[in-house]
Amino acid sequence: MNFLQQLILRRKLDRDVDDEISEHIAEKAAELEARGMPPAAALLAARREFGNPALTAEQSREVWHYAPVEELLADLRYALRQLRRAPAFAAAAIVTLALGIGANTAVFSVVNAVVLRPLPFPDSHRLVSVLVRSTQGGTPHPEELSYPQFFEFRKHTAAIEHLVSYHDTSMALSGAGDAVNVPSEIVSWDLFDALRVQPLAGRAFQPDDEAAAAHTVILGYQLWRAKFNADPSIVGRTVSLNREPYTVIGVAPRDFVFPLGNRDVQLWTTLAVDARSNTKEPMTEQAGARFLQAIARLRPGISIPRATAELDSVEAALGRQDPDNYLQVPSTWITPAVDSLVGDSRRPILILLGAVGLVLLVACANVANLLLARTAEREREFAVRASIGAGRGRIVRQLLTESFTLALAGSAAGILLAIAGVKAVARLAAGSIPRIEEASIDGRVLAFSIALAFVTTVLFSLAPAVRLARMELISPLKEAARGNAAGGGKFRSALVVFQIALGLVLVSGAGLLASSFGQLMRRDVGFRPDGLLTFSIGLPRSLANVPAHLAFESRVIDRLRALPGVTDAALAVPLPLAGDELSISFNIEERPSAPSKHPVSDIAFVTPDYFRTVGIPLQEGRGFTENDNASSEPVLIVNRAFADKFFPGENAIGKRIEPGATTDDARNGMRQIVGIVANASQDALSSAPTPIYYYAAKQLPWCCADYVVRTTGSVAALASSLHSVVASIDPSAPVYGVHPIKETLSKAFTAPRFQLLLLGAFAAIALLLSAVGLYGVLAYAVLSRTREIGIRVALGANRAIVLRMVLRQAALLVAGGVAIGALGAIAGNRLINTIIYAPPMPQSILLTAAALILVITAAVAAIVPARRAAAVDPIQALRTE
Amino acid sequence: MMVLRTLQRTPLHGYALAQQIKRSSKDLLQIEEGSLYPALQRMLKDGWLKAHWDVSPTGRRIRVYQITAAGAKHLEHEVSSFERMLEGIRFVLDPEQA
Domains, in order of start, for chain B:
2-93 (1.10.10.10)
Least Cα separation, residue B18 to chain A (angstroms):
10
A contact test, residue of B41, B52, B56, B64 with most A CBs within 10 A: B41
Strand A671-677, strand A656-659: pairing: antiparallel
Burial profile A411-426: b = 16 or more Cβ within 10 angstroms, e = fewer: bbbbbebbbebbeebb
- Phi-psi region at B80: left, alpha or beta (left = phi > 0; alpha = psi -120 to 50): alpha
- Between chains, do B60 and A26 touch, taking CB under 8 Å as contact? yes
Q: Which residues of B touch A18 (CB under 8 A)?
A: none
Nearest to B41 among A17, A19, A53 (CB): A17
Q: What pTM, to 2 d.p., does this model score?
A: 0.75
Chain B environment of A17 (Cβ under 8 Å)? 37, 41
* Best of A50, A61, A64, A66 to mutate (most B CBs within 10 Å, chain B): A50
**Closest residue by Cα to residue A578 from A553, A556, A606, A558:** A606
Facing A27 at nearest CB: one of B15, B41, B53? B15
List Cβ neighbours of A48 (8 Å cut-off, separation of 6 or more): none
Give A5→chain B minimum CA distance, Å. Answer: 12
User: Does B33 contact A57 at a Cβ distance shorter than 8 Å?
Assistant: no
Q: How far is A11 from chain B (nearest CA, A)?
A: 14
Q: Hey, is A122 helix, strand or coil?
A: coil
Residues of A with Cβ-Cβ distance to B20 under 8 angstroms: none
- The angle subtended at Cα B45 by Cα B41 and Cα B49, nearest 5°, is 75
User: Which residues, at least 6 apart from A739, have a Cβ–Cβ distance to it below 8 Å?
Assistant: A533, A534, A535
Q: Which of A27, A57, A63 sits opposite B42 (nearest CB)?
A: A63
Cβ pair A762, A103 in contact under 8 A: yes
Alpha-carbon distance values, A502 to A121, A760, A816, A851 (Å): 41, 14, 12, 11
A24 vs B45: CB contact, 8 Å cut-off?
Answer: no
Is the CB of B37 less than 8 angstroms away from the CB of A28? no
Mean pLDDT for back-to-back runs of 10 residues, chain A (881 residues): 61 78 83 84 83 77 70 80 84 90 92 89 92 73 86 89 92 82 93 94 94 93 92 92 91 92 92 82 81 92 91 85 68 86 86 92 88 79 75 78 87 92 87 84 89 84 76 59 53 87 93 90 87 86 68 90 92 82 81 78 90 93 89 90 91 87 56 92 81 87 82 90 87 86 88 91 91 85 81 83 86 91 91 86 88 90 85 75 53
Across the interface, whether the CB atoms of A28 and B63 are under 8 A apart is answered no
**Residue A656 near residue A673 (C-beta atoms within 8 A):** yes
From A57's Cα to the closest Cα of chain B, the distance in A is 8
Domain map (residue ranges) of chain A = 3-65, 136-330, 540-729
Of A24, A51, A57, the CB nearest to B15: A24
- Cβ–Cβ gap A19/B38 under 8 Å: no
Q: Which of A13, A15, A23 is the mutation pick for testing B, counting most B CBs within 10 A?
A: A23
CB A131 within 8 Å of CB A297 = no
Would you state the pLDDT for residue A793? 84
How much is the pLDDT for A787? 80
Nearest-neighbour CA in chain B from A47: distance (Å): 9
Complex ipTM > 0.90? no
Residue A588: CB atoms within 10 A of its CB come to 16
Are A50 and B40 an interchain contact pair (Cβ–Cβ within 8 Å)?
Answer: no
d(CA A570, CA A729): 17
The answer to whether B70 contacts chain A (CB < 8 Å) is: no
Cα separation, A454 vs A838, whole angstroms: 40
Residues A495, A815 contacting (CB under 8 angstroms): no
pLDDT band at B83 (very low <50, low <70, confident <90, very high): confident
Q: Could B15 and A53 be called an inter-chain contact, meaning their C-beta atoms sit closer than 8 Å? A: no
B17/A contact by beta carbon, under 8 A: no
Cα-based distances in Å from B89 to B1, B2, B79, B82: 19, 20, 15, 10
Q: What angle do CA A338, A343, A345 make, to 5 degrees?
A: 115
For A60, the closest of B33, B38, B60 (CB atoms) is B38
Asked whether the beta carbons of A334 and A307 are under 8 A apart, the reply is: yes
CB within 8 Å: B45 and A56: no
**Closest CA–CA distance from residue A63 to any residue of chain B (Å):** 6
User: How many contacts (CB atoms, under 8 Å) link A and B?
Assistant: 60
Q: Evaluate whether A296 touches A160 at the Cβ level (below 8 Å).
A: yes
Smallest Cβ distance to A28: which of B15, B53, B61?
Answer: B15
Q: So what's the pLDDT on residue A775?
A: 87
| Best to test chain A binding among B12, B31, B33, B43 (most A CBs inside 10 Å) | B33
Q: Does B68 touch chain A (CB under 8 A)?
A: no
pLDDT greater than 80 at residue B28: no
Residue type, A129: S
- Mutation pick from A62, A63, A66 vs chain B, by most beta carbons of B within 10 Å, is A63
Which chain B residue is nearest to residue A25, measuring alpha carbons?
Answer: B15
- CB contact B18 to A (< 8 Å): yes
Distance from CA of A10 to the nearest CA of B (A): 12
Q: How far apart are CA A586 and CA A600, in angstroms?
A: 6
- Looking at A388-488, list the stretches that DSSP marks H as alpha helix, in order from N- to C-terminal side: 392-429, 443-470, 475-478
Instruction: List, in sequence order, every residue forming a beta bridge with A588; answer none if it has no partner.
Output: A591, A657
Q: How far apart are CA A82 and CA A796, in angstroms?
A: 42
Tell me, yes or no, if B62 comes closer than 8 A to chain A by beta carbon: yes
Specify the pLDDT at position A371: 84
Task: Residue A5: list chain B partners with CB under 8 A.
Answer: none
Q: Do A52 and B34 touch (CB under 8 A)?
A: yes
DSSP A114: I
Query: Cα torsion at A736, A738, A741, A746 (round to 10°)?
Result: -90
Does pLDDT of B30 surpass 90?
no
Distances in whole angstroms, Cα of residue A758 to Cα of each of A107, A108, A521: 9, 13, 18
Tally helices (H) and strands (E) across chain B: 4, 3
Query: What CA–CA distances, in Å, run from A630 to A574, A637, A695, A699?
Result: 21, 16, 12, 5
CB-CB neighbors (< 8 A) of A19 in chain B: 61, 63
Query: Which chain B residues contact residue A52 at CB under 8 A?
Result: 34
In chain A, which residue's Cα lies nearest the Cα of B15? A24
pLDDT on residue A327? 65
> DSSP 3-state helix, strand, coil percentages of chain B (rounded to 5)?
60, 15, 25
Q: Which of A6, A56, A62 to mutate to test the interface with B (most CBs of B within 10 A)?
A: A56
Nearest in space to A368 (alpha carbons), one of A395, A397, A394, A402:
A402
Chain A residues touching chain B at CB-CB below 8 Å: 1, 16-17, 19-21, 23-24, 26-28, 49-53, 55-57, 59-64
Residues A671 and A634: their CA atoms lie apart, in Å, by 5
